[in-house]
Amino acid sequence: MPSGSCFCGTVKISHMGDVPLQRMTSSAFSINAMVSATEFSLDAGDPKRKIISSVPGREVAYYFCGECGTTLWSEDCSRPEVRFVKYGCMDDLAAKNAGKPKYEICTSTKLSWVPQVEGAKQYEDIAGLREELSGEASG
Ligand SMILES: [Zn+2]
């Protein structure tokens, strides 16, 4: 099972999803693996939880290490059966290289120098992807 940890190693996670992601680092983009909650495991540590409402009426819970601040995963509070694991915190470089993003979201605010991922479906915002994925990864 792919495993990962925060920068300082206090919080450890693992999941059985086929595609892991990248750390939330205030970077130009974030890569997430969408996995079922039943395939996700918190293996060590006691991560902090912060709920942020970036869109009115919609809340997302972010889980991060209280020691180093690394975000490890998030959950849409209306879909707690799904985890969005930050790909960059996963340990297995070969597995990360094997997984290729299937979707790109928020392309309306994408920086001009970030290349498009070949073969990935494009969505200007998350609403379009959410419609397409409704019902997926709910088991
Ligand atoms: Zn840490």
* Domain carrying residue 74: 3-99
Residue 108 within a domain: no
Determine the distance separating the centroid of ligand 1 and the alpha carbon of 74, expressed in angstroms: 16
Average pLDDT, the chain: 81
Determine the distance separating the centroid of ligand 1 and the alpha carbon of 14, expressed in angstroms: 15
Residue 26 within a domain: yes
Residue 52 within a domain: yes
Indicate the number of domains in the chain.
1
Per-residue pLDDT tens digits for 39-98: 999 999 999 999 988 667 788 899 999 999 999 999 989 888 999 998 888 888 888 888
Per-residue pLDDT tens digits for 127-139: 777 788 775 544 3
The reported pLDDT for the residue numbered 126 is 76
Residue 122 within a domain: no
CATH code of the domain covering residue 64: 2.170.150.70
Determine the distance separating the centroid of ligand 1 and the alpha carbon of 68, expressed in angstroms: 4
Degrees to nearest 5, angle at CA 111 with 107 and 114: 90
Determine the distance separating the centroid of ligand 1 and the alpha carbon of 46, expressed in angstroms: 10
The pTM assigned to this predicted structure is: 0.77
Residues with CB under 5 A from ligand 1 (ion): 6, 8, 10, 65, 67-68
Determine the distance separating the centroid of ligand 1 and the alpha carbon of 62, expressed in angstroms: 14
The reported pLDDT for the residue numbered 137 is 45
**Residues contacting residue 27 through CB under 8 Å, at least 6 positions apart:** none
